[in-house]
Amino acid sequence: VEVEMRTELSPDQIASYRDNGFLVIDDFLTGNEVEHLRGVLQHAVETRGDARVPSEMATAGATRATTAGSEDRARMLDAFRKHRSGWTRVLSQHVNLWQTDAGVAEFCRDPRLGRVAAELGQIDGVRLWHDQTMIKPAWGEPTGWHTDTPAFSFTEPEASTFWFALCDATVQNGCLYYLLGSHKVRVRTQGSMKLDGLRLLNPEWEFTEPVPCPVRAGAMIVHNGDTAHAAGANMTPAPRPAFAISWMPDGATFNGTPNILPPAVVDRLTVGDLLDLDDQCPVVYSQ
Ligand SMILES: O=C(O)CCC(=O)C(=O)O
């Protein structure tokens, strides 16, 4: 599948992102492209097995996929229904599939995606921080309020996350919610990761109405890493699969937080070091 992607941004879209802290791009991927991406991710998740991050693969007894490329829906859902305490009731997440799967790497390292991140962030270049499946299971719990950047290993502003809807994301099955303009204030705690956690992120946000973002499959939602977001419960018997890519501004430096960096990489880093590790966070676009 030749991936076409709607990567041309209008000045209005950029202005809206800068002001609101998020941007919905409907029909970013076509129906065929969504099917293709779902198949690629199914294969990558099956290969990864129970390992959440690549460095866990050796110990998690990952099994080799025998059903590569299958578009069988039931099998894909089964691959996504991993049993690990804590996170599976909210989201099933596999991180940095690009490092263990060529198809995911091809998608994530597409410079057209990187250019969108650079244009919205008004930065010269971007590196791939991490990719992550975001599969809210059938009857899944809500995703609590949080911002992304405080969890990352760098503190520079203008990180962003692209969230690809792999099915229609509805108010019923757990679409995303955003707090308008919340990226303009940097909050340092991660809050309670509960639905009432907004006031913990920032007491001034306690009485603010969030914006629900129901979208069709193929939409891409971009949010700034400092934008407060959450997702509703999945009140349906079908999973709500999504895929996210988070971008780091090129030139960002290590702040001491390991986040998804493997222990061997963290051991070699000192706070203040440039995060220019091409096999860990490769440049995807540079002006
Ligand atoms: O998909 C979700 O429920 C949460 C997504 C999210 O937090 C993110 O993409 O940063």
Report which ligand 1 atom has the smallest distance to the Cα of 134: 1
Q: In this structure, which residue's CA is closest to atom 1 in ligand 1?
A: 134
Those residues of the chain that have pLDDT short of 70 are 56-87, 189-192
Give all strands of the β-sheet with 211-213 in edge-to-edge order.
143-146, 229-231, 176-178, 211-213
Looking at residue 236, the DSSP 8-state letter turns out to be S
Backbone angles phi, psi at 154, to 5 degrees: -140, 160
Separation of alpha carbons 182 and 189, rounded Å? 14
52 Cβ inside 6 Å of ligand 1:
no
Cβ proximity of 14 and 7 under 8 Å: no
Count CA within 13 A, CB hemisphere, residue 21: 22
Q: Is the CB of 91 under 6 A from ligand 1?
A: yes
Ligand 1: centre distance to CA 134 (Å): 6
Nearest atom, ligand 1, residue 148 CA: 10
CB atoms within 10 A of CB 43: 22
As a whole number of angstroms, the distance between CA 96 and CA 184 comes to 28
56 within 8 A of 13, measured Cβ to Cβ: no
Amino acid identity of residue 276, one-letter, is: D
Task: Say how far apart CA 195 and CA 45 lie, in whole Å.
Answer: 28
The model carries a pTM of 0.90
Does residue 143's CB lie within 6 angstroms of at least one atom of ligand 1?
yes
Q: What are the Cα distances from residue 247, in Å, to 10, 109, 238, 267, 282?
A: 21, 11, 29, 23, 10
Q: Angle at the Cα of 264 (from 260 to 269), degrees rounded to 5? A: 80
Ligand 1 centroid – CA 230 distance (Å): 7
pLDDT of residue 29: 97
Max Cα distance, the chain (Å): 52
pLDDT at 54: 81
Cβ of 169 below 6 Å from ligand 1: no
Whether residue 135 has its Cβ less than 6 Å from ligand 1: no
How high is the pLDDT of residue 230?
Answer: 95
